[in-house]
């Protein structure tokens, strides 16, 4: 049977559709989560690197303030050495030595001839043209010069330098303070502390390193020249003079390096080049993505299991009884009047239909078996059978009203209002009968709507409203293959459409909506407006409902509205 297979197909296709939607939802959520989290991670790390740059700038300012204080100490040392040289003609560096200060003597050939740091004795500045040029200026100008912190030519240490030439222009006395001196004072604000970070707050960060322009790590003192990629990245960062980002991708794994350059310019035109390296990856994001995927799969499987359970309950309470009912109707259609429909479940709506059909068949069988029945009795019996159809339909309408506790008598009133309009328009009896059955059965599709949705107080959610909107199609599918209700099925299918095409279930516009559906639309809407409903505190008065229908020109055919108002006033004005 068509209707039987249609009901089954609708449900099974719905389950397949939901499974497909779930699959794509899981896939989309997995991909979206990874993309969003990776973007968020990059943004966090970008902000973190900016904070590091700002911190580096702040440390430089602190160093500058400390250097001004140490400048006094260095100047005093060099002046004592110079004075000792002028008085005694000797250069006695050991006499003025301190743990954190190194002293040097550079001759006028620009070589270190004496130093408290023995490793620097013999250092020839002629090999470094830029340094030699600066030393010439110092010697010729005969003034004390203090430079900013810089990197030593030997040992690659960070030092602050000061210079004082002798009056005879034979020597330049030089003093330096190790940067470690400043770091002990600064403690947490030391440049070396930049590599420290909160691992709980930033678990994605794998390491932070501080390098000089030669690729030597300031903390470990190790060179990274063997790591060609890192070394090239450091060189490139110095070349472009701004933040440089380098990324390594391997399938879903990302490893990102951010290089932040910083230059501290000295008074002599020299400069200290520092590179801060920030390394992070998305390993944690990948783990979270897998957990999200597994969680969504579990939820989807649980949802599918619930659907299968609903399917089982649906078959037991609705589909199987409906199949019995339709099979019996088919047997009756071919003349088997011994057929009896036996519904043994709690679905009262279908049982009401079955009992009504059994009674109709029994009466019809009794009439047919009467051999001496007269023509008038046959006509009376046929009329009674037609009434039996109507009573069956009314019984079903009563069952539908009973399902919605706030719409008692709704179907009967809609039928009455529809026929009032039809009478005014002088519609032929044949079409009026179709309209009558359509009006009383217009909400049959609500059999398939859950009670908790149908009787919900307050406004529906989008999902609940979408479920309610299915009832015209469900009603049509139930009635379309029953011969005497075939035309009525078409009428009720379109009774929730609107003239502007925004209605449901098909979304068709005025010219496509049948006249009888437009009549049913007005009757149904009027009763809904003037009856008590669960979602509305107060029902409208008839006059208010008339005005509302006049206002909604996009929904109701205005000529039909005028006919209905006229018919209603004629019938009820004296009551």
Q: Is the dihedral of CA 49, 55, 61, 62 positive or negative?
A: negative
> Strand pairing of 112-115 and 271-281?
unpaired
In which element (H, E) is residue 444 found?
none
pLDDT for 6? 61
CA distance linking residue 75 with residue 143, whole number of Å? 11
Can the peptide bond before residue 505 be classed as cis, meaning omega within 30 degrees of 0? yes
Please, which residues bridge with residue 260 across strands? 276
CB 565 within 8 A of CB 548: no
91-106 pLDDT, tens digit per residue, is 989 888 887 889 999 9
Closest CA to 162 of 251, 258, 229, 81: 81
DSSP string, 197-244: --TTT-TTEEEEEEEETTSBBTTT--B-TTSHHHHHHHHHHHHHTS-E
Check residue 531 and give left, alpha or beta (phi > 0: left; psi -120 to 50: alpha). beta
Torsion of CA 503, 506, 508, 510, to 10 degrees: -60
pLDDT of residue 52: 84
Name which of 470, 490, 473, 494 is nearest 482 in CA terms. 490
Alpha-helical (H) ranges within 193-282 are: 228-240
What residues pair up with 249 in beta bridges, in sequence order?
A: 254
Residues in the chain: 575
Q: Which residues of the chain have pLDDT under 50?
A: 371-372, 374-379, 381-382, 406
- What's the N-to-C CA distance of the chain in angstroms? 49
- Residue 254, classed as helix, strand or coil, is strand
CA-CA distance, 309 to 303, in Å (whole number)?
10
Cβ burial of 231 (10 Å; 0-12, 13-18, 19+) is middle
Phi, psi of 134 (to 5 degrees): -70, -40
Residue 367 tokens, joined: 């009439």
Instruction: Quote the pLDDT of residue 318.
Output: 67
Beta partners for 207? Answer: 279
Cβ burial of 322 (10 Å; 0-12, 13-18, 19+) is buried
Quick check: helix, strand or coil at residue 170?
Answer: coil
Q: Provide the H-helix boundaries in 125-215.
A: 129-141, 179-186
Kindly write down the DSSP assignment for every residue of 27-44, as one continuous string: HHHHHHHHHHHHHHHHHH
Structural contact between residues 331 and 339, judged by C-beta atoms closer than 8 angstroms: yes
For residues 12 and 6, give the distance between their C-alpha atoms in angstroms, rounded to a whole number: 10
pLDDT in the model for residue 155 = 55
Please tell me the distance from the alpha carbon of residue 74 to that of residue 198, in angstroms, as a whole number: 38
Contact 477, 427 (CB under 8 A): no
Torsion of CA 403, 407, 413, 418, to 10 degrees: -80
Q: Which pair of tokens denotes residue 180?
A: 């470690």
CA 406/CA 530 separation, integer angstroms: 12
The whole-number pLDDT of residue 414 equals 94
Instruction: In whole angstroms, give the CA distance from residue 45 to residue 279.
Output: 9
Residue 564: predicted pLDDT: 95
Beta strands 253-265 and 145-151: pairing type?
Answer: unpaired
Kindly write down the DSSP assignment for every residue of 470-531, as one continuous string: THHHHHHHHHTTSGGGHHHHHHHHTTT--TTS--SSS---GGGS-HHHHHHHHHHHHHHHHS
């Amino acid at each position: 049977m068509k209707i039987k297979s249609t009901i089954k197909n609708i449900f099974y296709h719905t389950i397949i559709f939901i499974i497909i939607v779930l699959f794509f939802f899981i896939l989309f959520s997995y991909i979206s989560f990874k993309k969003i989290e990776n973007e968020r991670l990059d943004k966090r790390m970008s902000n973190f690197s900016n904070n590091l740059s700002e911190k580096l700038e702040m440390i430089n300012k602190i160093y500058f303030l400390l250097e001004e204080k140490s400048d006094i100490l260095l100047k005093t040392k060099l002046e004592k050495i110079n004075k000792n040289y002028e008085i005694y003609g000797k250069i006695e560096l050991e006499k003025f030595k301190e743990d954190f200060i190194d002293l040097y003597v550079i001759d006028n050939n620009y070589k270190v001839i004496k130093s408290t740091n023995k490793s620097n004795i013999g250092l020839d500045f002629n090999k470094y043209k830029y340094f030699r040029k600066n030393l010439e200026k110092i010697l010729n100008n005969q003034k004390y010069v203090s430079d900013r912190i810089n990197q030593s030519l030997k040992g690659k240490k960070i030092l602050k330098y000061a210079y004082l030439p002798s009056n005879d222009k034979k020597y330049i006395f030089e003093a330096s303070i190790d940067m470690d001196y400043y770091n002990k004072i600064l403690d947490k604000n030391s440049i070396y502390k930049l590599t420290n970070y909160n691992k709980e707050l930033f678990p994605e960060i794998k390491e932070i390193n501080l390098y000089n322009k030669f690729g030597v790590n300031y903390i470990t003192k190790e060179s990274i020249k063997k790591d060609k990629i890192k070394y090239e990245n450091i060189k490139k960062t110095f070349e472009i003079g701004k933040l440089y980002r380098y990324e390594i991708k391997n399938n879903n794994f990302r490893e990102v390096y951010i290089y932040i350059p910083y230059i501290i310019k000295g008074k002599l035109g020299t400069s200290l080049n520092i590179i801060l390296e920030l390394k992070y990856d998305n390993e944690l994001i990948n783990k979270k993505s897998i957990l999200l995927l597994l969680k969504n799969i579990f939820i989807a499987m649980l949802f599918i299991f619930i659907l299968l359970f609903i399917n089982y309950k649906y078959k037991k309470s609705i589909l199987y009884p409906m199949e019995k009912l339709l099979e019996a109707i088919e047997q009756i259609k071919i003349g088997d009047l011994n057929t009896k429909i036996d519904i043994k479940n709690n679905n009262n709506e279908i049982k009401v239909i079955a009992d009504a059909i059994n009674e109709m068949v029994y009466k019809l069988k009794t009439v047919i078996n009467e051999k001496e029945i007269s023509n008038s009795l046959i006509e009376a019996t046929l009329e009674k059978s037609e009434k039996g159809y109507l009573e069956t339909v009314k019984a079903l309408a009563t069952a539908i009203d009973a399902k919605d506790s706030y719409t008692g008598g709704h179907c009967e009133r809609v039928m009455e209002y529809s026929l009032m309009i039809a009478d005014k328009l002088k519609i032929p009896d044949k079409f009026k009968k179709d309209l009558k059955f359509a009006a009383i059965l217009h909400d049959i599709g609500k059999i398939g709507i859950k009670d908790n949705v149908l009787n919900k107080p307050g406004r529906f959610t989008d999902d609940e409203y979408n479920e309610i909107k299915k009832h015209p199609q469900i009603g049509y599918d139930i009635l379309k293959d029953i011969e005497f209700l075939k035309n009525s099925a078409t009428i009720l299918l379109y009774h929730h459409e609107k003239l502007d095409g925004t209605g449901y279930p098909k979304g068709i516009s005025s010219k496509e909506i049948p006249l009888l559906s437009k009549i049913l639309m007005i009757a149904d809407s009027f009763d809904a407006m003037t009856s008590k409903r669960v979602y509305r505190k107060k029902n409208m008065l008839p006059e208010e409902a008339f005005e509302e229908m006049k206002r909604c020109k996009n929904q109701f055919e205005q000529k039909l509205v005028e006919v209905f108002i006229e018919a209603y006033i004629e019938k009820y004005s004296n009551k």
